[in-house]
Structure 1
């Protein structure tokens, strides 16, 4: 079964594609295969002049629960020998490369969010030009509550929200409702029905000239600081955190529905 479904539909004289994250059992978690598929879809779309818009959404009532840590399980809390290169670094960096490709799409990118958009899923949302969310959407960057660094998504959250709000989201780890995300500038519209909201928004977008949209997006990208070196540093931070004791303890506590060792029993912070 493909975990990325692509549905191409007419939009004026061109096309819109719906890219559907399709693994409801995991709430559409970002596996290596899904990240690769998204990267390949971006590479193809970047050279498709007939494609005018891309809609990114999730199947089964969830947008994306975040990165799948299954492939990292054997590395949790395990230090490397001195001088040994860490295979976690390029694995994490590949996700950032895919996020860069999403941001660089010449087409308008819309994110349609229902249910959870967590961690890496929040990173996907931050790449969108337009974000529609249902009242049931829940968005968060919970990595620090698990002893992990929100490494590759941090630059994209900062770009989207600005410094103060990005710090609140990334350092607090709290969940945010669609209305809260709207107030912070992450969500563009809260709509009761995603399909109806998308139909209305795509109709409005059909009035925009594809070449002008692509050129405007390129200008916006050029006005931002370069990402590659920042994301390289982020991948190192992610790998170091995952191999450290906090991630091992935090993820074990999460898996067993227990409080992490740094959390007080009642959920308050220890003084």
Structure 2
């Protein structure tokens, strides 16, 4: 039996649950095969409508996060008039990056070892990035004569234009400290990554699920939406939150100096 290329582990929280999605092809350092992209897209599709899911942790098996795209189809000649199958394959990876950014839950990415090319792109979709001191980051596509096609907009969104140009146009490698200085990594982890992930989950689980989803929608819309329209949407989201179930519970808990019902704290 072929091992699953994506492992999903669901763990309950005091309210709802959290899933860990583990890229599982250690022999290739978890390269992004077509099967792995499809499995991640399916997981995103399910998560988008899962009311019990509070957050997602994305990791890699075998001491590495993700070595980038699987390039097995490159170099095969095309017959005259044939459509290039690499185009929809590459575009599907872009759809995955969009789906990860659009998750209504918080997304924590935990990086150990290599995060290269497409793996770098996955990191750019995170709400919070943990990197072990062993982590190495790069977008080496241009040094191989390849275009970092689908990841480029997400790298710009995460790092800003100047830092994105630096990494995308040179392919230089960053250790975890450099990646933190350039804004890719939030927290460095010197010891046990599992403990660091648990601490990050506890911090994020203090936030109300519906408020998180609404805030993420606003953040995602911000680059493309004119400011007046964005502020109109934000006002609607604010009013809906105050009139919804979470704000009264959160404000009452604050007044009583208690944890709100969705919090992971005892």
- Common topology (TM > 0.5): yes
Q: Provide Cα deviations, 1:23-62, integer angstroms capped at 9, x if missing partner.
A: 1000000000000000000000000011001000000000
Aligned to 2:94: 96
How many aligned positions are there?
222
Quick check: 214-223 or 64-73, which moved more? 64-73
Partners of 2:194 and 2:185 in 1: how far apart? 16
Q: Following superposition of structure 1 onto structure 2, how do residues 6-155 of structure 1 map, counting pairs within 5 Å?
A: 6-75=8-77, 81=80, 84-155=82-153
Partners of 2:61 and 2:186 in 1: how far apart? 21
Q: What RMSD, in angstroms, separates the aligned Cα atoms of the two structures?
A: 1.3
Aligned to 2:166: 168
SS at match of 1:71: coil
Q: Provide Cα deviations, 1:153-196, integer angstroms capped at 9, x if missing partner.
A: 00000000000000001001011000000001100000122111
Partners of 1:210 and 1:156 in 2: how far apart? 24
Aligned to 2:259: none
Partners of 1:26 and 1:85 in 2: how far apart? 28
Aligned to 1:262: none
Q: State the shift of 1:63 in Å.
A: 0.2
Q: State the shift of 1:201 in Å.
A: 1.0
Runs of 4+ in 1 over 3 A off after TM superposition: none
Q: Provide Cα deviations, 1:186-232, integer angstroms capped at 9, x if missing partner.
A: 00000122111111111111110000000000001111239xxxxxx
Partners of 1:117 and 1:73 in 2: how far apart? 24
Aligned to 1:220: 219
Aligned to 2:181: 183
Q: TM-score, normalised by structure 2?
A: 0.81
Partners of 1:225 and 1:118 in 2: how far apart? 28
Partners of 1:12 and 1:140 in 2: how far apart? 38
Q: TM-score, normalised by structure 1?
A: 0.80
Conservation of the 8 A alpha-carbon contact between 2:132 and 2:188: yes
Conservation of the 8 A alpha-carbon contact between 1:12 and 1:206: no
Quick check: 3-12 or 36-45, which moved more? 3-12
Partners of 2:216 and 2:49 in 1: how far apart? 15
Conservation of the 8 A alpha-carbon contact between 1:141 and 1:173: yes
Conservation of the 8 A alpha-carbon contact between 2:73 and 2:86: no
**Residue ranges of structure 1 left out of the alignment (5+ in a row):** 227-271
Greater RCO, CA 8 A, separation 6+: 1
Q: State the shift of 1:84 in Å.
A: 4.4
Q: Provide Cα deviations, 1:85-139, integer angstroms capped at 9, x if missing partner.
A: 3221111100000110000000000000000000000000000000000000000
Partners of 1:195 and 1:73 in 2: how far apart? 40
Q: Following superposition of structure 1 onto structure 2, how do residues 187-266 of structure 1 map, counting pairs within 5 Å?
A: 187-192=185-190, 193-225=192-224
